Chains A and B, each alone.
Chain A
């Protein structure tokens, strides 16, 4: 059989199907592009992520590694083939029930791999699940709930259906969950209108230098499929973007100057085939390379080349917090510990690369894009295009993971520019190498810190300086510089503090927002010092933290008195029983004196919810239609963490109707109010409060219309609301009321802006209205010969104020731990080197150990029903707990993240040399 012509026949989901794509097309693309089977996702196109896993002749395979010609005659099943006649399979239902799908981008691949396993082993063990699904990466869930779902595939399908007033606290499934398990959810690359042109960005191959554009006319003449080529000169508004009003320093398309490898230079738009066939060197670009500024020490060196001429010393931003007198504090201290730490660039590695499409509608531009900040996107695109904000509409697609990386613009301004210029829809999806080269990263840190305490363990003084490599552009660098001094002392009471930070510009990809904004890095230093001091004092590390824990009534290092919701001590106490048994067990294990040693480490955490000393309001609206449909217009972007479900849970109780009544309109800037960005662990706390107020506002209106008391019970029915107040019963006829543009006849609105106070020159003030607290315990086995570290168990206790949805909270904590484990042990992005997901290692199925989650509820009066945030809190204590576990096992202090086997082994050998072990 020779397959050179463009037609093959195969079976797809039971139907005989013809594919006409050229034989060299990969099956994943043919299924998506020819048959709209976009449930099969493309995350890496190289067999590294497994998002495109399908069944071929009954076995799980990556559809990105099979050409159409090889698939001829085969039997292919995609995720779309799992549900029968609209009924979810047991496996799909179990995924929903257990919260196994967060953002949903890996879910189809996970389902197909699980389907393969369950076909072979009816009741698999946990180990068999981990082995069989080891080819699919997930960045959200930490894999634990996927295991739970597969082990419970035959379980009861009945989910939580809370009665009125009981939605908060219940384990309801995702309101937007079904499309995530059927493959119907539409992500950034999954749709564009017929006839859409494709945009591709040509990127800088050098880290610094200049470039010149040659004869574009000749290029276009030679490439008839190319409709347009855009350069810096074509940007109609401001060719500068950035999340800070004072930090709009990144060009949409570089204007002759290159500041990092991967920077956007030119955008080419044309027919998909013509764009795909284009090679970078087809374009008349001429480069002149200069010596780049690499790393913190080069950037800070005297006479260093300036990355931006207007930023002397390459300093983007500095942060400072001074309280008391550290010199006096250290003078009084019985014990002083100090050290230096270093961390690396960390890639967000969301499984969905940046993607979207745009079209011109009248004099407006509509942009459908994967994002975690639709309103900021709108404002920034307007700024770039020189248009009014109201002329831009952002319609978020499903977001396949963000973690901070989708707060900055990516495809948005370019597809908007092209769609406006050409008058046809234009789409763009980054490849994995492109995403990794161009997107923001976690800031690498170089930290020096010291801490002093009394003989009884009470902390007296703390000093910290962190330099952060902020890359080529501002992005969220100022936030890191702000947040770090506030948090660097850790969740402990210290009277004499001096914390400083500096964000330095280099010729690396911009460092931006990544789950924790510098705090995960600083926690590594801080929590190592706590263990050092505990050892010097001869105090148990858990007790040492309890002695110093911030509690209600204590003052933080920024001088803020905590009045409510400071549950660190409860979290630490919650770990005690595991701490005692695991330490004892480790002692027994190590008595055997084998090559592997076991250690148990602990670390505390705190993290302020919302922006630092900055207004960050959210508004949520709710409507009831004449038919009695309740809709929550949710501007709080759901990237898997759950606002599309959590906001209705909160609003349902505030309004006094069943959760099941709600549907959600998500993110659309024309239809929702601004609920800020999904970052800074703010959505549950800030937008959640707005949702509560919106529900209360609507309830008040209904009660007033019905003229009944506050305890009345609402019964929404088709076309009417029946209001019961004791004996009285009133009926509101919804059909008689005037409807707004959404078709709603009754609406409620709520806004919340968490109260903060500015920080003075010494960093004193009220930076956040509330803080999340928590502590992790890690049990680790360290191979003393090879240097590899295997995490056996994590116990995580978090004060969440109030658990709105325990399943989602566990999911956030699992996922945060997985990313913290990656930060600690394996994740290291090297600019100019790392560009794919097999050199950049994120934890796989077998790397995330069993996790015990303990939810502590110390209510925050400002939050919705007492709730506060969890997104970033979940990640922060993991890496320090792991490092402390390694130290407990080996006596070796780790100073460099990630602690790869090579670094651990080198540290063990170095310590042996100096007789420390």
Chain B
């Protein structure tokens, strides 16, 4: 139960070396802090033959902040994001999200790239091999073909995305720079997470939750300048640390006198993807009234989909995510007044 399968570890010094290793080893996985991946490997959820350790990639360890925005390398560790003065000042939602992840050991180990690519989670998936075997496995693993959360899902997986950074970055129109065998490309974060889990299978789900091609890896994430946006992050958890979010909410807005002129909301811990709430633009233009809050309610009802993937019931996660959003928007609006 305890032994890991045998694998090779490559520790490239440069991004070019990392890419070469990635091309040379088709079944490799990138490993940052390993707080997610090594635990999954121990559970034999996956058994990559080669791990490419990103911890020596100094080129990916920089945080740059300027007039045009923010750029964070994939190997930057989570505590560095949480403690960065410019991120705290200009992008409080991002700093707060990073500072709220798991516990201090995890934030020391975990990287931005790793958190963005955090595997989706489910109580039928993140368990020991013995446990999964006893439950006939599930379709997110190679050995199973059934979703225990939604037995009639016809091959669609509902495992939940739980990364804290993604919703906060999405507020600022963040883009992810990917490097792969075909070179570098940039994907908007809202397009990067594809876990819609639609019954027609038209897009991704809890298994295929990232628009990433074979051999590609995240090199950095870039956020636009916040302008006058003020932002914040809140999450509900049952205890203070070492816990995935029951639900997390990032929000940003601008206020001119009493008018809400921009409002953006994103969630984690609810769907198989981080959800950037669509349609909030229509809520801007007036003061923060009950009708705006009702509007948030309605958008959440349409877009949040929490299933029985965690020990906390789905109906609760969906409702409190919505409530958190409304509260956070209220707090930000007042703070901006």
Q: Which residues from chain A sit less than 8 Å from chain B, CB to CB? A: 1-4, 22-26, 29, 45-48, 50, 53, 59-62, 65-67, 69-70, 72, 113, 116, 130-137, 200, 203, 205-206, 261, 273, 276-277, 279-281, 431, 433-434, 595, 785-788, 825-826, 828, 830, 832-836, 838-839, 841-847, 900-902, 905-906
Given contacts A70-B31, A846-B241, whether A788 and B8 have CB atoms under 8 Å apart is no
Query: What's the least CB distance linking B35 to chain A, in Å?
Result: 5
- Most A C-beta atoms less than 10 A away, residue of B4, B42, B241, B324: B241
Instruction: Say yes or no: B239 contacts A2, CB within 8 Å.
Output: no
B241 touches A900 (CB 8 A): no
The interface residues of chain B lying within 8 Å CB-to-CB of A205 are 130, 133-134
| Contact (A276, B312) CB under 8 Å given A69-B53, A901-B238 | no
Interface residues of B in 223-254 (CB under 8 A from A): 236, 238-244, 246
- Alpha-carbon distance A830/B135, docked complex (angstroms): 14
Contacts of A431 in B (CB 8 A): 1-2, 128
Instruction: Check: B335 CB closer than 8 A to any chain A CB.
Output: no
Docked CA distance A279–B2 (Å): 10
Q: Are A24 and B5 in contact (CB under 8 A)?
A: yes
Tell which of A22, A433, A788 touches B1, judged by Cβ atoms closer than 8 Å. Answer: A433
Interface status of B65 (Cβ within 8 A of chain A): no
Which of A786, A825, A844 makes the CB contact (< 8 A) with B242?
A844
Sample (10) of A-B pairs whose CB atoms are under 8 Å apart: A1-B10, A24-B9, A62-B106, A134-B103, A280-B133, A434-B1, A835-B128, A844-B239, A846-B239, A901-B320
Name the distance in Å between B317's Cβ and chain A's nearest Cβ.
8
The answer to the question of B123 belonging to the interface, with a C-beta cut-off of 8 Å to chain A, is yes
- Residue of A134, A842, A905 near B320 (CB, 8 A) is A905
Q: Assess whether B6 is in contact with A135, with CB atoms less than 8 Å apart.
A: no
Q: Does B105 contact A (CB under 8 A)?
A: yes
Known contacts being A4-B8, A261-B134, is A59 close to B239, with CB within 8 Å? no
- List chain B residues, Cβ under 8 A from A838: 242-244
Q: Point out the residues of chain B lying under 8 angstroms from A65, CB to CB.
A: 33-35, 38-39, 109
B9: chain A residues within 8 A (beta carbon): 2-4, 23-24, 67, 69-70
Contacts A24-B4, A135-B241 known; A901 to B316 CB distance under 8 Å? yes
Q: How far is the CB of B269 from chain A (nearest CB, A)?
A: 13
Asked whether A203 lies within 8 Å of B38 as measured between CB atoms, the reply is no
A701 to chain B, nearest CB (A): 53
Majority SS at the chain A contact face: loop
Provided the pairs A786-B236, A839-B123 are in contact, do residues A62 and B105 lie with their beta carbons within 8 angstroms?
yes
Chain A residues with Cβ under 8 A from B34's Cβ?
A: 65-67, 70
16 other contacts beyond A23-B7, A200-B1, A844-B242, with CB at 8 A cut-off? A2-B9, A48-B242, A62-B109, A65-B34, A69-B11, A70-B31, A113-B105, A206-B134, A280-B133, A433-B1, A785-B327, A787-B316, A838-B243, A843-B239, A901-B320, A902-B313
Smallest Cβ-Cβ distance to B104: which chain A residue: A135
Q: How far is the CA of A901 from the CA of B320 in the complex (A)?
A: 10
Contacts A3-B9, A902-B313: A786 and B320 contacting too (C-beta < 8 A)?
yes
**Do residues A50 and B312 form an inter-chain contact, with CB atoms below 8 A?**
no
Contact of B3 among A277, A841, A902 (CB under 8 A): A277
Does residue B51 face the partner (Cβ distance < 8 Å to A)?
Answer: yes
Q: How far is the CB of B284 from chain A (nearest CB, A)?
A: 24
How distant is the Cα of A131 from the Cα of B100 in the complex, in angstroms?
10
Q: Are B11 and A135 in contact (CB under 8 A)?
A: no
Interface string of B83-115 (1 = CB under 8 A from A): 000000000000000000011111011000000
Please determine whether B105 and A135 come into contact, CB atoms closer than 8 angstroms: yes
Measured between alpha carbons, how far is A277 from B319 in the docked complex, in Å? 45
Cβ-based interface call for B127 (8 A): yes
Contact B241 A134 (CB under 8 A): yes
Most B CB contacts (10 A, CB to CB) among A29, A273, A833 go to A833
B4 contacts A25, C-beta separation under 8 Å: yes
* Given the contacts A62-B109, A595-B327, A26 and B4 also touching, CB distance less than 8 Å: yes
Provide the residues of chain A in CB contact with B3, threshold 8 Å: 273, 276-277
Q: How far is the CB of A106 from chain B (nearest CB, A)?
A: 13
CA distance A500 to B244 in the complex (A): 41
Q: Which residues of B contact A70 (CB under 8 A)?
A: 9, 11, 31, 34, 53, 55
**B 261-305 to A, binary, CB cutoff 8 A, 1 in contact else 0:** 000000000000000000000000000000000000000000000
Contact A433 B316 (CB under 8 A): no
Q: Hey, which chain A residues are within 8 Å of B236, CB to CB?
A: 786, 788, 901
When distances are taken between beta carbons in the complex, the residues of chain B under 8 Å from A3 are 8-11
Any A CB within 8 A of the CB of B141: no
Name the A residues within 8 Å of B6 (CB-CB). 22-24
Bound Cα distance A69, B38 (Å)? 13
Chain B nearest CB from A498 CB (Å) reads 37
Query: When the two chains form the complex, which single residue of B109, B238, B242 contacts A900, counting CB atoms closer than 8 Å?
Result: B238
Asked if B35 and A47 make an inter-chain contact with CB atoms under 8 angstroms apart, the answer reads: yes
- Distance between A209 CB and nearest chain B CB, rounded to angstroms: 12
On whether the beta carbons of A135 and B102 are closer than 8 Å, the reply is yes
* B118 smallest CB distance to A (angstroms): 13
With contacts A3-B11, A24-B5, A65-B33 known, is A46 near B42, CB below 8 A?
yes
Q: Find chain B residues with CB under 8 A from A72 CB.
A: 11
Q: Are B127 and A836 in contact (CB under 8 A)?
A: yes
Which residues in A have their C-beta under 8 angstroms from that of B35?
Answer: 47, 62, 65
B62 at the interface (CB under 8 A from A): no
In contact, A135 and B242 (Cβ under 8 angstroms): yes
| A50, B105: Cβ atoms closer than 8 Å | yes
Which residues on the B side are within 8 Å of A53 (C-beta)?
105
| Neighbour of A788 across the interface among B4, B102, B133, B238, CB < 8 A | B238
Closest A residue, CB atoms, query B38: A65
B134-177 contacts to A, CB under 8 A, are 134
Please report the C-alpha to C-alpha distance between residue A595 and residue B331 in the assembled complex, in whole angstroms. 12
| Cα distance A205–B131 in the bound complex, in angstroms | 7
Give the residues in chain A near B240, CB-CB below 8 Å. 130, 134, 844-847
Q: From residue B232, how far is it (CB to closest CB) to chain A in Å?
A: 16
Bound together, the chains give a CA A87 to CA B56 distance in angstroms of 36
How far apart are the CA atoms of A842 and B242 in the complex, in Å? 10
CB pair A67 B38 closer than 8 Å: yes
CB distance from A347 to the nearest CB of B (A): 13
In the complex, residue of chain A having the shortest beta-carbon distance to the beta carbon of B10: A2
Question: What residues of chain B lie closer than 8 Å to A276, measured between beta carbons?
Answer: 1-3
Complex-state Cα separation, A203 to B133, whole angstroms: 12
- 10 closest cross-chain pairs (CB), A and B: A846-B240, A135-B103, A69-B9, A205-B134, A134-B241, A135-B105, A276-B3, A902-B316, A4-B8, A24-B4
Residues of A within 8 A of B244 (CB): 838
Question: How many Å lie between the Cα of A29 and that of B3 in the bound state?
Answer: 10
Residues of chain B with a CB closer than 8 A to A29's CB: 2
Q: Chain B nearest CB: distance from A784 CB in Å?
A: 10
| Residue among A3, A261, A906 with max Cβ neighbours from chain B (10 Å) | A3
A60–B313 CB distance below 8 A: no
Once A25-B4, A67-B9, A261-B134 are accepted as A-B contacts, the answer to whether A134 and B242 lie under 8 Å apart by CB is yes
Q: For the complex formed, measure the closest distance between the CB of B335 and the CB atoms of chain A, giving whole angstroms.
A: 16
Asked if A45 and B238 sit within 8 Å, CB to CB, the answer is no
Alpha-carbon gap, A134 to B82, bound state (A) = 16
What is the CB-to-nearest-CB distance from B210 to chain A, in angstroms, rounded to a whole number?
22
CB-CB contacts below 8 Å: B189-232 with A: none
Q: Complex: how many Å from CA A675 to CA B55?
A: 54
Complex CA gap A200/B1 in Å reads 9
- By beta carbon, the residue of chain A nearest B315 is A902
Give CA–CA (A828, B238) in the complex, Å: 12
